[in-house]
Chains A and B, each alone.
Chain A
Amino acid sequence: MIVRKIGENIISPIGFTVGENFSAVLAGKSALRRYESLWNLPFPCFVSLIPEAALEAALAEEGLDTYASCTKFEKIALLSAVKAVKQSGIDAKSERVVFILSSTKGNVELLSREYPDFERVALANTARFVARHFCNANMPITVSNACISGLYAQIVAYRCLISGQYDTAVVIGADVLSPFIVAGFQSLKALSDEQCRPFSANRRGLNLGEAAATVVYQVAADEEGGWQMLAGAVRNDANHISGPSRTGEGSYRSLMSALHDSGLKDSDLACLNVHGTSTLYNDEMESIAIGRAGLSGVPVNAMKGYYGHTLGAAGILETLLTMRALENGVVPATRGFDGQLGVSVTVQVSSKALDTQRNAFVKLLSGFGGCNAAAAFYNGYRL
C-alpha cells in the first residue's frame, strides 16, 4: 500500500496554482520586497504579500465570493483547499476523508481588535470552518508545531492513511503576515531588511511571506505509482526553545529516521529540500546535520529566497514545488545564495538550477521548541 498524492494547490504572491508557482520559480521571480513602514511598523521589512485584488478575483472564480467577510487567512486556506479538492476529484464529505490544517498563528491578527473573538482566533475552529465548507463531519486535526507544522501535518496524514483510519487526507497549510508576526520575529532579531541569502557567508536573517498550500493524499495499491510519501519523522533537539542545537541533533535524527524507513539511498536523492531560513544559526545547524548524516554530496536547495518563510504553509508549499521541479528534471536554484558558502560543513547549494534524472528527495524543516521534521518522497513505482 502507498500514500499517493492526488491533488495539490499553492496560493502565493507569485501564483495561484502549482504550475504558475513553478514557472515563476524557474524564471527566478519573487514578490519579496522592502517596505519602509509596513502597517506603520517602526522599522523596514522585506516580505512577500498576497495581493488582495487577485485573491478576491480568484475567490470569485471559484464561486467563493460569498465568503467576503472572512479574514485573509480563512480565505487563502479555503481557496487553496477548494482548488486542490476539485483537482483531486474526491468526495470530500465522505467519512473516509480527514481534513488536516497546518498553521502557526492563523487569525492572530484579530487580537488587535477592541473586542477580539477568541473563538475565531482558535485555529481548530478555522479547520472546522474549512471542513464544514465541504460538509465533512470528521473532527479536523490542526497541527500547530512552529515552523515544522507543514511537514508534521503530512506525517500525520501519512499515519492516518497507512493505519487504515482514513482513505484520504486533505492537508492544508496557511499563514498570513500581521504586525504580530513581523514584530515578533523582529524582536528576536531574526529578520533581514534585504533579500535573504540562504547558506551565504553574509546572510543576515530571514524574510517572511504569505502563502497557503494544499496536498491531497490517498492510499493506493503499489502499482498505482506517482508521487508518494515514503516515510517521515519528528525529533527534538532537547536543547533550547528558541535556538537550534549546535550539533543539529534533532534534524540529524529525523533525517536518519526518515531515510532509513524510506529505504532510499543517498544516490537515489535528487536533492535535500532544506529549511534554509537564512538565519546564522539555522543554516549552520542544517549543514552540520547533513554532514553528520553523510549526505554532504547530495544537492541542497532552499525556497525561502522566492517566498520568504511562509511558516505553516512552508512544509507543503516547498514539498509540492520540489515534486513539480523533479518531474521537470530540475533542482531549482537557491534564490538569494550569493556563491560564498557560509556554513562550517560543506553542502551542495547552488544559485543555478541543476538538471537531474533522479525522482526522490528528502524535505527538512526545523522550528522553535527544538522541533525538527524530515520526510522522504518518491515519484514512480515501488520495486
Chain B
Amino acid sequence: MESRVIHRVKMTPKSLEVDGKCVAVAVEDESFLTHLYRKYRMDYPKFFKMDVLCKVGFIASEILLEAEGAERFVPRADRAVLLFNRHSSLHADRAFQETIADPAEFYPSPSVFVYTLPNIVTGEIAIRNKYHGESGFILLPEKSETVMEQAVERALMDNETTSVLTGWVEAVADDEFEAEMKLVI
C-alpha cells in the first residue's frame, strides 16, 4: 500500500508553515524558537536545556503533532521517528570542541557532549511522546526527497510501525536552521 503524508510543517528562522499555510513570522525581541515554544504553550522545561538541533526538531514535531490532533503522550510503539540532515550534530560538535581546544582551559562538558550525536533529537521526541517505536537518523550528502521517501517506505516494513514522523532537520547555527517535517501513514 502506498504511504501518504497527512500533515506537514516547514520552519525556518523567520517563518512557520503548517499544512502549507503560513502561521507565524519571526519576532524581534526574542528568539523565534522560544517565541514558538510560548505561542504553542508547550510547557516542557527540558526544552531550554536542548541544543539548537534538538530545539528545532522538538518544536517542529510539537506543532506537527498538534496539527494531527490525536491524543498525546499515550505510550505507543507503532510510530517511528526518522530524521535526516547533511551536517549531523555539527553545531554541538563545534561547541564541545571549544571546551577541549585550550589545554589551559580544558573542561570537556558532559552536558554539551551528549548532544554531539544527531539521533539525540529523535530520542527527545520519543521521550516527550512516549514513543517506543523505531528511532533513527540518516545523513545524506544532499536533500533528496526521493531518497528520504524510500527510507520512510523501508521504515514502514517493520512489523509494528504504522506511521512515521519524518523529515529534514538541519541546524548549523542558532539562527541558521531548517525543518521540513511530515507525518506519514
- Please report A residues at the B interface, Cβ cutoff 8 Å: 40, 42, 104-105, 108, 111-112, 118, 121-125, 127-128, 139-146, 152, 156, 159-160, 162-163, 165, 179-180, 183-189, 233-242, 249-250, 253, 257, 260-261, 367-371
Contact = CB atoms under 8 A, between A and B. Distances in A.
A128 B141 contact: yes
A288 B158 CA distance: 24
Given A144-B119, A144-B137, A241-B120, A139 B144 contact: yes
Interface in B71-130: 75, 77, 81, 86-88, 90, 93-94, 96-97, 100-101, 103, 106, 108-110, 113-114, 116-120, 122-124, 126-127, 129-130
Interface stretch (B10-18, B30-38, B145-153): B145-153
Q: Chain B contact residues (Cβ within 8 angstroms of A): what range?
A: 35 or more
Given A108-B93, A236-B126, A241-B114, 19 more contacts: A118-B90, A122-B141, A124-B141, A144-B88, A145-B137, A146-B120, A156-B154, A180-B100, A183-B100, A187-B110, A236-B123, A238-B75, A253-B132, A368-B120, A369-B117, A369-B119, A370-B135, A371-B135, A371-B136
B22 interface: no
Given A156-B154, A241-B127, A234 B135 contact: yes
Contacts of B93: 105, 108, 111, 121, 180
Interface of B: 75, 77, 81, 86-88, 90, 93-94, 96-97, 100-101, 103, 106, 108-110, 113-114, 116-120, 122-124, 126-127, 129-142, 144, 147, 150-151, 153-154, 157-160
B157 A368 contact: no
Given A141-B138, A187-B109, A238 B126 contact: yes
A346 to B, nearest CB: 26
B131 A139 contact: no
Contact of A160 (B87, B100, B110, B154): B154
A144 B89 CA distance: 10
A239 B141 CA distance: 31
Contact of A159 (B110, B123, B138, B154): B154
Contact of B119 (A146, A156, A159, A187): A146
A162 B157 contact: yes
Contact of A370 (B100, B106, B126, B147): B126
A122 B86 contact: yes
Enumerate the 4 nearest inter-chain pairs by beta-carbon distance, A residue then B residue, closest first.
A369-B123, A142-B139, A187-B108, A159-B154
B117 A239 contact: no
A243 to B, nearest CB: 10
Contacts of B86: 122, 124
A257 B97 CA distance: 39
A121 B117 contact: no
A123 B116 contact: no
A143 B151 CA distance: 11
Nearest to B136: A145
A146 B117 contact: yes
